[in-house]
Structure 1
Amino acid sequence: MIDGRSWPPVAESAASVGRGETTATSLVTTAIDRWAELDEELHAFCTPTPDLALSGAARIDAMVADGRPVGRLAGVPYAVKDLICTKGTRTTSGSVRYRDFVPSEDDIVVERCTGAGALSLGKTNASEFGYSATGTNPLFPTTRNPWDTRLTPGGSSAGSAAAVAAGIVPFALGSDGGGSIRIPAAFTSLVGFKPSMGRVPVYPGCRDPDHPGVSGWESIEHIGPICRTVDDVCTVMGVLAGPDPRDRHTIPAGDVAWHTIVADMHDDPTVVGGLRVAYSEDFGYLAVDPAVRAVVGDAVARLSAALSWNTTRVDPGWDEPGDEFTALIMSETDLVGMRRMVDDIGDQMSAHLVAMLRREWSAEDFTSATMWRKSIVNRMAALMGDHDIVITPTACVPPFEVGIQGPSVIDGRDVADTAWQGFTFVANLTGQPAVSVPVGFTSDGLPIGMQIIGRHLDDATVLRVAAACEQVGVHPMGTPARRDQVA
């Protein structure tokens, strides 16, 4: 199932509302109609808020009629991942424990979207507390991939990606602690951007000590947009980015002109010409589906030829991780509170999460994970000293069937059911900017994404290269159009 309709660029829609050429109410009504038509099959939304969106649209239309200024996202409907707090609207984090939890404050990104005039259509489904790269949790029906509803859209920002891919909303907010924006973007043929650590403030998510499960992942979690095009990503980032004292990691604004990134590429594609590019098809140890290798490899070859890149195949040199990433997550988790939750409702929680929490972690497990992280950060810094960007596949496999954590065999090799996620976690450890862009399809029409990682704080180059993918033609389409185009 693929919906045949798409949205105008986000900036164009907002400008049209501001000029009075289009009403916010008409945009929201379109989104509501698409949600009503499509979401019974997709389960992208877990807490839809159509009435709130309509009342917000009426306020914006009244402001325009009165000649008052409206924001940069005025009237544009969007969706919010259910791990991101929304004042007055329940935020369950995919957990039975938080089935009826209604935050008393918005997350900063929601504050900013609201201030810019965007209108939330509701909360989108996510893995329980984000501890999975698929869209399953014990509370709501499993989110389905619009390209093939038998398959997962990836996660943990599953509903956000499905809502955009199906054309229900033009953009959605996701969070990414190890690939949870980029992986679903790859699985649904979208652009998913994880900015540099500190670009976009995260609060109260990850920082709320009163709510176990909501309070983890502080040093690796990022929030960013999932969109159809790089231009839409840049428009939304112009609203989301900037410091806030409530997030100790945030950095000063002003060094990225988000609104000119794509325009710069249209004016002069050689802005990203001659780059030194490191390309790794498997990090030296990952099992990768042959179709993924072929499609991403072809995209890199075409970009290199078109833009005169100096592209080198590399093996970054770090060892295949074992339990270190899980240990790092657990070291930032409220284990006391979460283990009490397991004692209370463990039979209503995701089995893989319960297993993580019940494991007898040691201090040495946690400190070894920290040392492992430092080693990878140092090796990546050395790699970036010789290269401007690193390119990899986003995921080792195309979308797979719902109901599993991942395939147990890839390219004839027996692997752990999480091994397919092996490309994305690195940029979370280092805090570097990374984006997934669509670069093609398998022979049976399933999307494949390519990951672009840049130097720390060089978000602009990452997005310029992503825009180059659209211009050179390796980005096949911003939004899925008709199923017969990809079958």
Structure 2
Amino acid sequence: MRTSQRDELCYLPATEIVARIGRRELSPVEVLDAALDRMREVEPTLHAFCTPTPDLARAQAIRLGDALARGQAPGQLAGVPMGIKDLLSTAGVRTTSGSWVYRDFVPEEDDIVVERSLAAGALCVGKTNTSEFGYSATGQNTLFPITRNPWNPALTPGGSSAGSAAAVAAGIVPVALGSDGGCSVRIPAALCGLVGFKPSMGRVPVYPGCRDERLPGVSGWESLEHIGPITRTVGDAALLLSVLAGPDPRDRHSIPCGDIDWIGAARAGEREGAVTGLRIGYSPDLGYLAVDPEVRGVIDRAVHEVLEQQLGCHVETVVPGWPDPAAAFSALIVADTDLTGMRRMIEEHGEHMSPHLVAWMREDWTAQHFTDANIVRKSVVNAMARLMSGIDVLVTPTSAVPAFPIGSHGPTEIDGRTVSDSAWIGFNYPANLTGQPAASIPAGWTGNGLPVGLQIIGRHLADATVLRLAAAIERVAPWSQHRPEGSDRGVG
């Protein structure tokens, strides 16, 4: 296959792949061959996949091709190559959760989202790299080589869905599954120039992840976790959500989704005047966060030039009024985990685990830490409800900084202010505490060509509004023509 032809296939939206396969203009094997060829080319630099599954994907593609030849109708994701985050269980395929402790673990069942994706015809090309149990926003662990950003391989792609974002940005797959307990879909989407959608809590069921009591570390995050797509286009995110969403009795938090036409909401946003008059609250710093000046400039321009001038939205600057929930958020994560099981695991295997995770679990946590954190959570939920009563969406930067060099968990100084190494992800916590829908979409690029993400937070259960606004922005300020070159030139 010629490189130009392969690249065309690798950067086709999933919606176009499904349409062309449905019209018999492409075969699933053709699409897969392009994806695997691209994987072989860039993986030595990026390390997006911790467990590639080319043979599994080929068997899936052949079965799908045979079914189509017999006249079977194509599924919603027919022939779409997909990366699956290694926190999500895959029956018969190693699932390590980024941990040395689970380096040989092979689940007996698929996560619900994996089950639904494969049933819709997606092709699993591999498990994508993640930080250990999702406990970092940069994607590094002690088991696999660190994942690198396709825009510049010396930099982090963000995390914890690091491999999923790197794989999509580099053109290996058009879509990937990520999970977001505090930022882990939106941050890598922002740092890699992609769409990352965290649906409302309960829209997309979670199981067995977060709920298998036999697996310390894997069984955490239950009150915070959301699963969502990482894609290059809003239409692809909507397509994937149309497959993933819907209740399942195995997830006690899952809710009916009959009020959402995912694909229709995205298409509505593509129409002229789709968001005219939409009331937008813009908070450049939530009242307490330090923000890189260049990121602030990119977001300011996007808000005023795109949202106000081009789309006709009504924008007002807001200060939400809740306290910085970072410390409380840390306690809530620990409260959600199997602390006894994690500490036992650390006693046995701590030398092989991520040092920051070990230190986190060994802190002197008390019941008061956890109950105080719950009160902070309630204050954020209530303040958010008051804020959203006067606006349709809240927009902010997604990340306070652009991508930074790999090897750290975050900068400790932003715009001249000394901060914790997790302060750069602080825009993301509120929507996990409240369970509201939130997306990151590209807002522009820094002077040296790094992506900057805009976060859109919708009202409770207003996923359709978030999709509609994201699609409207994509229509007037498209981003998919921007493609990273870093993965092709190697580290340096």
TM-score, with structure 1 as normaliser: 0.97
CA distance in 2, matches of 1:15, 1:298: 35
CA distance in 1, matches of 2:326, 2:199: 26
Summarize deviations over 1:332-364 as a string: whole Å, max 9, x none.
Answer: 100011000110111111111111100110000
Summarize deviations over 1:409-442 as a string: whole Å, max 9, x none.
Answer: 1001111111101100110000000000001111
- Alignment equivalent of 2:417, drawn from 413, 418, 424: 413
Q: Secondary structure at the match of 1:79?
A: strand
Aligned to 2:341: 337
Q: How many residues align?
A: 480
CA distance in 1, matches of 2:325, 2:331: 11
CA distance in 2, matches of 1:170, 1:453: 24
Aligned to 2:295: 292
Which residue identity does 2:74 align to in structure 1? V
Q: Secondary structure at the match of 1:323?
A: helix
- Answer yes or no: is the 8 Å Cα contact 2:153–2:486 preserved in 1: no
Aligned to 1:386: 390
Question: Which deviates more from structure 2 when the two are superposed, residues 15-24 or residues 59-68?
Answer: 15-24
The equivalences for 1:311-330 within 5 A come to 311-330=315-334
Aligned to 2:280: 277
- Alignment equivalent of 1:8, drawn from 12, 22, 43: 12
CA distance in 2, matches of 1:462, 1:226: 15
Which residue identity does 2:117 align to in structure 1? C
Summarize deviations over 1:208-264 as a string: whole Å, max 9, x none.
Answer: 000000101001100000000001101111111111010111111211111222322
For the pair 1:193 / 2:211, whether they are aligned, the reply is no
| Percent sequence identity over aligned pairs | 59
In structure 2, the CA distance between the partners of 1:144 and 1:114, relative to structure 1 (3 Å rule), is same
Shift in Å, 1:97: 0.6
Which residue identity does 2:209 align to in structure 1? G
CA distance in 1, matches of 2:410, 2:486: 25
In structure 2, the CA distance between the partners of 1:367 and 1:420, relative to structure 1 (3 Å rule), is same
Question: Which deviates more from structure 2 when the two are superposed, residues 475-484 or residues 394-403?
Answer: 475-484
For the pair 1:208 / 2:212, whether they are aligned, the reply is yes
Q: Secondary structure at the match of 2:66?
A: helix
Shift in Å, 1:12: 2.0
Summarize deviations over 1:140-187 as a string: whole Å, max 9, x none.
Answer: 000000000000000000000000000000100000000100000000
Aligned to 1:480: 483
Which ranges of structure 2 fall in alignment gaps of 5 or more residues? 1-5, 488-492
Shift in Å, 1:463: 0.8
Shift in Å, 1:131: 0.2
For the pair 1:26 / 2:30, whether they are aligned, the reply is yes
Summarize deviations over 1:383-403 as a string: whole Å, max 9, x none.
Answer: 000000000000000000000
CA distance in 1, matches of 2:41, 2:351: 34
In structure 2, the CA distance between the partners of 1:482 and 1:152, relative to structure 1 (3 Å rule), is closer
CA distance in 2, matches of 1:442, 1:145: 15
Question: Which deviates more from structure 2 when the two are superposed, residues 360-369 or residues 475-484?
Answer: 475-484
CA distance in 2, matches of 1:396, 1:263: 30
Summarize deviations over 1:28-65 as a string: whole Å, max 9, x none.
Answer: 11111111111010000000000000011000010111
Which ranges of structure 1 fall in alignment gaps of 5 or more residues? none
- Answer yes or no: is the 8 Å Cα contact 1:72–1:116 preserved in 2: yes
CA distance in 1, matches of 2:49, 2:281: 38
Aligned to 1:366: 370
For the pair 1:235 / 2:239, whether they are aligned, the reply is yes
Aligned to 2:124: 120
- Alignment equivalent of 1:244, drawn from 248, 253, 268: 248
In structure 2, the CA distance between the partners of 1:53 and 1:78, relative to structure 1 (3 Å rule), is same
For the pair 1:400 / 2:404, whether they are aligned, the reply is yes
- Answer yes or no: is the 8 Å Cα contact 1:165–1:479 preserved in 2: no
In structure 2, the CA distance between the partners of 1:472 and 1:70, relative to structure 1 (3 Å rule), is closer
CA distance in 2, matches of 1:125, 1:429: 25
- Answer yes or no: is the 8 Å Cα contact 2:64–2:121 preserved in 1: yes
Shift in Å, 1:310: 1.9
- Answer yes or no: is the 8 Å Cα contact 1:131–1:353 preserved in 2: yes
- Answer yes or no: is the 8 Å Cα contact 1:190–1:479 preserved in 2: no
Aligned to 1:111: 115
Shift in Å, 1:22: 1.0
Shift in Å, 1:120: 0.5
TM-score, with structure 2 as normaliser: 0.96
CA distance in 2, matches of 1:310, 1:14: 37
Aligned to 2:102: 98
Which residue identity does 2:375 align to in structure 1? M
- Alignment equivalent of 1:375, drawn from 357, 373, 379: 379
Aligned to 2:221: 217
- Answer yes or no: is the 8 Å Cα contact 2:154–2:405 preserved in 1: yes
Q: Secondary structure at the match of 1:271?
A: coil
CA distance in 1, matches of 2:46, 2:286: 34
Shift in Å, 1:481: 5.4
Question: Which deviates more from structure 2 when the two are superposed, residues 300-309 or residues 413-422?
Answer: 300-309
Shift in Å, 1:479: 5.2
- Answer yes or no: is the 8 Å Cα contact 1:19–1:64 preserved in 2: no
CA distance in 2, matches of 1:339, 1:482: 43
Shift in Å, 1:4: 6.4
Shift in Å, 1:271: 2.3
For the pair 1:50 / 2:54, whether they are aligned, the reply is yes
The equivalences for 1:260-271 within 5 A come to 260-266=264-270, 268-271=271-274
- Answer yes or no: is the 8 Å Cα contact 2:284–2:396 preserved in 1: yes
Which residue identity does 1:95 align to in structure 2? S
The equivalences for 1:126-137 within 5 A come to 126-137=130-141
Shift in Å, 1:269: 2.9
Q: Secondary structure at the match of 1:272?
A: coil
CA distance in 2, matches of 1:348, 1:191: 34
